[in-house]
Structure 1
Amino acid sequence: MGPVTEAILALLCAVGAAALLWLLFGWLVRPASVHNLWIVIPGRGNGNLLEAALRQLAWLRRAGLFRGEAVIWDAGLTPEGRELALRLSLRWSWVTCCPSGALEEWLGR
């Protein structure tokens, strides 16, 4: 074997080992299977950070690391922010909206 072939094999082994360690780490830190897990995302202003937060949760759901639901809590959303929150809750079935001042009552159901 030549030096180039050895370098390629070493690189493939390193990538394979890193992938295996990443999967093992993900399996070890995966949260327990809790059925009533809720994540509350406070929505403020025009809600420009809501979509990014929900996309991250969607990625976790696809990876099997999050099985709960998300609540967008109105913590001072503008009318445009409320409209965005409603559109996001329609996009993903596991996302709901909670009006301002009703979080404790809403989570108690």
Structure 2
Amino acid sequence: MDGILQVVLTVLAAIGLLALGWAAFDRLAAPADWGGPVYAVVPAAGDGTYLEQNVKSLLWLRGKRNSRFTIVIADDGLNPAGRAVAAALLTDATGVVVCPIDRLGEYIREK
């Protein structure tokens, strides 16, 4: 009986340390507020391989801490399939824009 209690307490301690580590990592990885505009640039070309996963990961990060940053899909030659993926992402979320990669600097300076 004593061995079972030790195992249960060890598992609970490990879970507690894992939760504490996750909370600390969350604080470091996702600051609550920034002093100025922040952009996350996702380069995209061809059929937009990994575009949806990258943008949705950034949306999760933004929603997790209620942070405000703009996700910019930098179009570096998306084909029609890639443009369809980008268009679907634009309709699903706010704060996501598509910009040609050669105009990226102009877009950021304008905002």
Give TM class, smaller chain.
0.7 to 0.9
What letter corresponds to residue 69 of structure 2 in structure 1? G
Alpha-carbon displacement from aligned partner over 1:35-66 (angstroms, at most 9, x marks no partner) = 41001111100102110101211221232175
Equivalent pairs, count: 109
RMSD: 2.0
Q: In percent, how many aligned pairs have the same letter?
A: 35
Q: Contact 1:30 / 1:65 at 8 angstroms: preserved in 2?
A: no
- Relative to structure 1, the CA distance from residue 43 to residue 77 in structure 2 (aligned partners, 3 Å threshold; closer, same or farther) is same
Q: TM-score, normalised by structure 2?
A: 0.83
More helix by share: 2
Q: Secondary structure at the match of 2:16?
A: helix
Task: Name which of structure 1's ranges 45-54 and 99-108 shifts more when overlaid on structure 2.
Answer: 99-108
1:53-72 maps to which residues of 2 (within 5 A)? 53-64=54-65, 66-72=67-73
2:7 is aligned to 7
- Superposed counterparts of 1:73-84, under 5 Å: 73-84=74-85
Question: Which stretch has the larger CA shift, 48-57 or 18-27?
Answer: 18-27
Q: Distance in 2 between matches of 1:65 and 1:39?
A: 15
For structure 1, the residue ranges without an aligned partner over 5 or more in a row are none
Which ranges in structure 2 are unaligned for 5 or more consecutive residues? none
TM-score normalized with structure 1 length = 0.85
Hey, what does 1:26 align to over in structure 2? 26
After the TM superposition, which of the residue ranges 91-100 and 30-39 deviates more from structure 2? 30-39
The CA deviation at 1:102 is 2.0
Q: Shift of residue 86 of structure 1?
A: 1.4
SS of the aligned residue for 1:47 comes to coil
Please say if residues 32 and 67 of structure 2, whose CA atoms lie closer than 8 Å, have aligned partners that are also in contact: no
Contact 1:57/1:66 (<8 A) preserved: no
